[in-house]
Chains A and B, each alone.
Chain A
Amino acid sequence: SQQGEEDPQALSIQEGENATMNCSYKTSINNLQWYRQNSGRGLVHLILIRSNEREKHSGRLRVTLDTSKKSSSLLITASRAADTASYFCATDDDYKLSFGAGTTVTVRA
Chain B
Amino acid sequence: DTGVSQNPRHKITKRGQNVTFRCDPISEHNRLYWYRQTLGQGPEFLTYFQNEAQLEKSRLLSDRFSAERPKGSFSTLEIQRTEQGDSAMYLCASSSLRGRGYGYTFGSGTRLTVV
**A→B interface (CB under 8 Å):** 2, 4, 31, 33, 35, 40-45, 48, 50, 88, 90, 95-102
Could you say which residues of chain B place their CB within 8 Å of the CB of A90? Answer: 42
A36 to B86, CA, bound (A): 24
Q: Shortest beta-carbon distance, A30 to chain B, in Å?
A: 8
Which of A43, A95, A99, A102 makes the CB contact (< 8 A) with B44? A99
A43 & B101 in contact (Cβ 8 Å cutoff): no
Could you say which residues of chain B place their CB within 8 Å of the CB of A50? Answer: 101
A-B contact pairs, 8 of them (CB 8 A): A43-B43, A43-B93, A45-B103, A48-B102, A48-B103, A88-B43, A90-B42, A97-B33
Which of B35, B91, B103 makes the CB contact (< 8 A) with A33? B103
Name the residue of chain B whose CB is nearest to the CB of A88.
B42
A45 & B105 in contact (Cβ 8 Å cutoff): yes
Q: Shortest beta-carbon distance, B109 to chain A, in Å?
A: 5
Which of B4, B40, B101 makes the CB contact (< 8 A) with A48? B101
Interface members, chain B 42-60 (any A CB < 8 Å): 42-45, 48, 55-56
Could you say which residues of chain A place their CB within 8 Å of the CB of B55? Answer: 95
A40 & B111 in contact (Cβ 8 Å cutoff): yes
**B→A interface (CB under 8 Å):** 4, 6, 31, 33, 35, 40-45, 48, 55-56, 89, 91, 93, 101-109, 111
A28 to B33, CA, bound (A): 22
Which of B40, B48, B101, B106 makes the CB contact (< 8 A) with A42? B106
Top 10 closest pairs, chain A to chain B, by CB: A99-B42, A45-B103, A42-B106, A42-B108, A43-B106, A96-B45, A42-B109, A99-B43, A88-B42, A48-B103
A42 & B91 in contact (Cβ 8 Å cutoff): yes
B42 & A95 in contact (Cβ 8 Å cutoff): no
Could you say which residues of chain A place their CB within 8 Å of the CB of B101? Answer: 31, 48, 50
